[in-house]
Amino acid sequence: MHDLTILAIIWASVFIAAYLADKTRLTPVLWYLFCGIILVNTTILPKEMPVFITDFADLGIIVIMFALGFEEDTNNFICSIKRSWGIALFGAIAPFVIAYFTALYYWQDHNTALMCGLAMTATAVSLTMVSLKDEGLHGSPAATGIMTSAVLDDIGSLALVAIMVPIATGEATATFSGIAWVLGKAIAFFVMVVIIGNWLFPASQGLLKKIPVLGQINLRGLLSMGKGEYTILSLMLIAVTVGLLAHEFGFHPAIGAYMAGLVVHREYFDFHQEQQVDFYQQAKEMIDNVAFTWIGPVFFITLGAKLIFDLEIFFSVLPESLFLFIALFIGQISSASLAARFTGGFNWPESLMIGFGMLGRAELAFVVMNIAFVQYQIISVEAFYTLMLTCFMLNISVPLTIRWWKTKFAPDG
């Protein structure tokens, strides 16, 4: 099947998902995942996606996260980090412990248990943020708390993956230098984002304005090129570039894209006033259209397509999957909600929303599963299917619980 044929099928399914979302009043993300599952298990889509589609899906999540960061206020994000450390810490410890001991009970292997724990640790923030946006809650304090917690969560999870995977494969042992190297890279990345936002983008201000050539360049000038015709291209370039920078430092590119969106401020769009156009609002609408209508959905459909049913294995691991799902569902919501309430100072409605928002598992979970099952064969096929089914049920829970809690949720309560 031609790569473009696959893309056409995925895009056609976006219309189906949008129609079903409208009729059921559920978030489109839920139906994107459902369409992906149906398409791959009916062999309409291939089990192994071509590189073009996987890269296109990666671009989708990069643009989605950039769009979400673009709408967020930087000061709110920074203040939220101070409130979110407990959510990230306790919201990661609980699922790790639950998955570790559940896997140890079922498969009696410490390496399998370790990889299962790692897979279930990091939150899939992209799914949560899109679900919150669909419900009009993406600008709430709870949404910012979820995002900042997930960023901190990813830092810790990446450090654990970098440290624990070599141990599980027998290739290395944990060392102080190895841990320091991972944490150092995380700090270096965020320092570079601060430099980009505070000095590089407004380069014609402050100390950099004295540097030849560089001092004459700033983001505002780039965005205003061609009477604003290149604004979207400039923003897309920034999102992808900072995403690639994050990838070089060991993060998922989506985290870099979100940070890039955070440091692009509204004042950079104050140009060509004679045209009487709000270039910031225009750019926001166009980026949202790209992110949530025609590129972003490809990510979620291909994510759903990862769940391929083998009925014999499926039914054999269904009890383990249901037990792990229920345990993680209760443990994740409880740990994140209590941490949000007592370490972050969020009210109870916001705390529970944060608990629901931390349920999703996607990018890093699938990276760990790929390492454990495909690359090193650390876990069995039964453990792999258990993790896949658990991830699917947790991901389905995100839009459903957020939609249900919205009727009781009071952002200003």
Number of domains within the chain:
1
189 domain-assigned: yes
- Kindly state the tokens that stand for 303: 């994510």
- Regarding predicted confidence, which is higher, 143 or 99? 99
Given this model, what pLDDT does residue 412 score?
47
* DSSP codes, 185-226: HHHHHHHHHHHIIIIITTTTSGGGGGSTTGGG--HHHHHTHH
What is the spatial distance between Cα 201 and Cα 205, in angstroms, rounded to a whole number? Answer: 9
- Across the range 35-62, mean pLDDT stands at 92
Residues 145-200 pLDDT 10s: 887 887 777 667 766 776 676 667 665 556 677 667 767 877 888 888 888 887 77
Give one word for 403, left, alpha or beta, with left for phi > 0 and alpha for psi -120 to 50: alpha
* DSSP codes, 135-199: TT-TTSHHHHHHHHHHHHHHHHHHHHHHHHHHHHHTS----HHHHHHHHHHHHHHHHHHHHIIII
Cβ count near 101 (within 10 Å): 14
- Across the range 65-73, mean pLDDT stands at 80
DSSP 372: I
Given this model, what pLDDT does residue 208 score?
54
152 domain-assigned: yes
Residue 39: which residues within 8 A CB-CB, separation 6 or more? 9, 10, 13, 45, 301, 305
* Cα dihedral across residues 210, 216, 217, 220: positive or negative: positive
22 domain-assigned: no
383 domain-assigned: yes
Residues 364-405 pLDDT 10s: 677 678 778 866 788 898 998 899 889 889 988 888 898 888
- In the predicted model, what is the mean pLDDT of the chain? 83
CATH number, residue 321: 1.20.1530.20
216 domain-assigned: yes
What is the spatial distance between Cα 141 and Cα 82, in angstroms, rounded to a whole number? Answer: 13
4 domain-assigned: no
Domain range for residue 171? Answer: 51-413
Given this model, what pLDDT does residue 53 score?
95
2 domain-assigned: no
- Regarding predicted confidence, which is higher, 300 or 53? 53
* Cα dihedral across residues 93, 97, 324, 391: positive or negative: positive
Residues 397-407 pLDDT 10s: 888 898 888 87
pTM, to two decimals: 0.70
12 domain-assigned: no
